[in-house]
């Protein structure tokens, strides 16, 4: 009986001291992307791909906000929201509607978020794609 109890305690100690490799919310994603905003283009540098990836701006388009961290960069213009993934080495975009305006933009780790008066945009660096949730108007 004592052997089972000792074995159980040793197993518990091993699990506490040597985690099973499950990512926790406290894990830090290394800085793998840099975003440079220029007059007519956005330049994202991916340390993963070791290259610059350009996204041209449309005539009359202005960058309102830009953020980068970890594997993700986001930029909001007066026309669209743009996300860059250092993991996929590509840009992805979603157009804004007429009358839609930015409330906030954030980038952290593998996630980019843009909130407008009409929608919540979520960008995943892992997939390199946007997901959009329209707010219910009440």
Tens digits of per-residue pLDDT, 6-61? 444 544 444 444 443 334 445 667 889 999 999 999 999 999 999 999 999 999 99
Task: Give me the pLDDT at residue 30, please.
Answer: 84
Task: Give me the pLDDT at residue 115, please.
Answer: 97
Task: Give me the pLDDT at residue 26, please.
Answer: 54
Q: Inform me whether the pLDDT recorded for 121 exceeds 70.
A: yes
**Structure tokens that stand for 61 in this block:** 């388009």
Domain boundaries, the chain: 29-134
Separation in Å, CA 69 to CA 28, 41, 92, 102, 136 = 11, 19, 17, 20, 30
Pairing between β-strand 72-77 and β-strand 80-85 as defined by DSSP bridges: antiparallel
Q: Inform me whether the pLDDT recorded for 4 exceeds 80.
A: no
Question: What is the distance between the alpha carbons of residues 53 and 95, in angstroms, rounded to a whole number?
Answer: 20
Cβ–Cβ under 8 Å, residues 81 and 114: yes
The model carries a pTM of 0.78
Tens digits of per-residue pLDDT, 48-104? 999 999 999 999 999 999 999 999 999 999 999 999 999 999 999 999 999 999 999
Cβ–Cβ under 8 Å, residues 46 and 30: no
Task: Give me the pLDDT at residue 41, please.
Answer: 97
């Amino acid at each position: 009986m004592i052997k089972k109890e000792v074995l159980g305690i040793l197993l518990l100690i091993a699990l506490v001291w040597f985690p099973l490799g499950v990512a926790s919310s406290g894990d830090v994603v290394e800085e793998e992307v840099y975003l440079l905003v220029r007059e007519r283009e956005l330049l994202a540098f991916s340390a993963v791909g070791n290259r610059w990836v350009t996204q041209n701006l449309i005539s009359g388009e202005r960058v309102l906000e830009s953020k980068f961290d970890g594997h993700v960069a986001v930029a909001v213009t007066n026309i669209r929201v743009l996300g860059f993934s250092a993991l996929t080495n590509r840009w992805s975009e979603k157009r804004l509607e007429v009358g839609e305006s930015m409330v906030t933009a954030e980038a952290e780790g593998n996630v980019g978020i843009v909130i407008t008066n009409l929608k919540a945009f979520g960008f995943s660096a892992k997939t390199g794609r946007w997901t959009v949730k329209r707010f219910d108007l009440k």
